[in-house]
Amino acid sequence: MASAFFCISAIFLLFVLIHEVVLLEGSEDAAFSESYNISWGNGHVQSFFAGREIHLLMDKMSGSGFQSKLDYSSGLFHMDIKVPSRNSAGIVTAFYLKSSQSNGHDELDFEFLGNLEGKPIHLQTNIFVNGHGNREEKIRLWFDPSKNFHSYKILWNRYLTAFLVDEIPIRVFMNKGVAYPSKAMQVMGSLWNGEDWATNGGKDKINWMYAPFTASFRTFSIDGCPAFEGGPQCYSSKYWWNGGGYAGLSPKQILAYRMIRKRHLVYDYCTDRRRYPVPPPECSQTV
């Protein structure tokens, strides 16, 4: 029944977006080494296809991660990802942007929360501004992210921050009178141990019988303004992603976005009255 529901949802989304989703501009697949370095777990990283596909491994000894060589202050950041399969409870696969400050950092997160075999792998997004996060949203994807590669993008410009899955916007954070990411950030990917919280509130732990766990990354596309050009310059309209056409969603994108919210959103901090009796100011934003 669940798979039939996912299929219907996917077909509807395709119908809504076909010929339209103004595919966000971006470069072709690049080799990992052009823009990224391994940041930790060096012995747990494998390279394939002349560096155009990277596998992060995790076992009891270590996970692994990578980061961009440069910091960026706006742009479109794209990664194709396939997450660990089978029993991945407690495993977190992440694709994110993060500034270097130890206090008061900015961060934009895609986090895939592993699960027991046969149960859905949820995708969590989070936004940190000046060190303040706790803005989690969680969706149940309309496909199994461990079966095939899918596209994940973060668009960050002077108007908004948008998280997209296969070109479909799943979350939009508007730059309208609220604290907004403004610090230069590196682009990062990682595979790590989150068993204390990631699955069933930390009750379902990692089953090491299935190790090593593998997360696969490819594309490695960055269309970004390097931070050395200066923050204000990175909001300039000379960069395509700062153009007025990217100030919001198109009507068809809005329709798809609202369908995602209605059918696939399983947690939204804005509606969690136990944590936030008074919703944070950005929760009043509408797309």
Neighbours of 266 (CB within 10 A): 12
List the catalytic residue out of 53, 107, 195, 282: 107
List the catalytic residue out of 53, 111, 195, 282: 111
136 is catalytic: no
137 is catalytic: no
Active site (catalytic) residues: 107, 111
